[in-house]
Amino acid sequence: MMLSEREVERMFVRFTDKSYGKPATLLRKWQWHSLHRLCEKAPPGDFVECGVMRGGAAMLMARYDRELWLFDSWEGIPDEANTKYGRRTEDMGNPGGCRASMHECIANFVQHCIPTEKCHFIKGWIKDTAQEYDGDGIAILRLDMDIYSSTREAIEVLYPKVVDGGYVIIDDYCFPKVREAVHEHLTVHGEQKDIYDAEDEFIERAGTEITETRWIQNANSPITGAWFQK
């Protein structure tokens, strides 16, 4: 299913509108449209998101008529999250360390008339649930985990199931420990991948020694989201 830029923009405005209650997505506009572009050109396969929260990005992905696997604890960031693993929970920008209930997420799907027939809502910590994916292959793997441990646990199990030509989206690539988790996984498995930001600009090559290149931790930088292709 193809979505027009106008329709995608309307969804973004609606999902960030606080008059509906808490916004359904915390994505910035360039991340939102980047996700749309990758969904449009993804090869055959399932869409998977790890770190769903209130379901904004998931609702956009659900519009593409794919099997959609949604993994989240719906209990916030794990207690062990600290500077060793990534950002502290108190630095996440919202109370509860990115916490939202699964009921709240599903209610957003209903409120915004997004179909759930092909959605698999998997509740629990990713280290315990990632193995539950049993689809035919992943066309998009979207990681929005915020911290090192969860990102590494998700990518270790799910990346091997990404189909050739599929996309891996790392929402929190600006967080040094998240970036480290991606580089470590690719290095261990002998892969090198070119990383692009949400505006499709080359950032750096992952799987080699980590360099600064044009990576900047900046609230106004498109590098708050990144992707690479398998």
pLDDT tens profile 152-196: 999 999 999 999 999 999 998 888 888 889 999 999 998 989 999
Q: How many CB atoms lie within 10 A of CB 147?
A: 27
Least confident of 47-56, 147-156, 215-224: 215-224
List the domain range (segments joined by +) for residue 86: 5-229
Tokens of 95: 């109370």
Q: What is the pLDDT of residue 203?
A: 83
* Number of compact structural domains in the chain: 1
Q: What is the mean pLDDT of residues 197-203?
A: 84
Q: What is the pLDDT of residue 182?
A: 92
CA distance linking residue 17 with residue 29, whole number of Å: 13
DSSP characters over 87-151: S-GGGSSSHHHH---HHHHHHHHHHTT---TTEEEEES-HHHHGGG--SS-EEEEEE---BHHHH
Most confident by average pLDDT, 123-137, 198-212, 214-228 = 123-137
Phi-psi region of 211 (alpha: psi -120 to 50; beta: other; left: phi over 0): beta
Question: Which residue carries 């959605």 as its tokens?
Answer: 119
Taking the whole predicted model, whether its pTM rises above 0.85 is answered as yes
CATH number for position 15: 3.40.50.150
Q: What is the pLDDT of residue 99?
A: 78
Tell me if residue 72 falls in helix, strand or coil: strand
pLDDT tens profile 21-72: 789 998 989 899 999 999 999 999 999 999 999 999 999 999 999 999 999 9
Run of H or E residues at 186: helix 176-188
User: In sequence order, which residues have a C-beta less than 8 Å from that of residue 138 and are 6 or more positions away?
Assistant: 45, 46, 47, 48, 158, 161, 162, 163, 166
Q: What is the pLDDT of residue 205?
A: 80
CA distance linking residue 40 with residue 30, whole number of Å: 15
Sequence-separated contacts (24+) of 77-84 with Cβ below 8 Å: 77/146, 77/147, 78/125, 78/147, 78/149, 78/150, 80/149, 81/146, 81/147, 81/149, 84/148, 84/177
Give which of 100, 94, 11 is closest to 59, Cα–Cα.
11
pLDDT band at residue 80 under the 50/70/90 scheme: low
Return the bridge partners of 194, or none.
205
Amino acid letter for position 169: I
Return the bridge partners of 138, or none.
46, 162
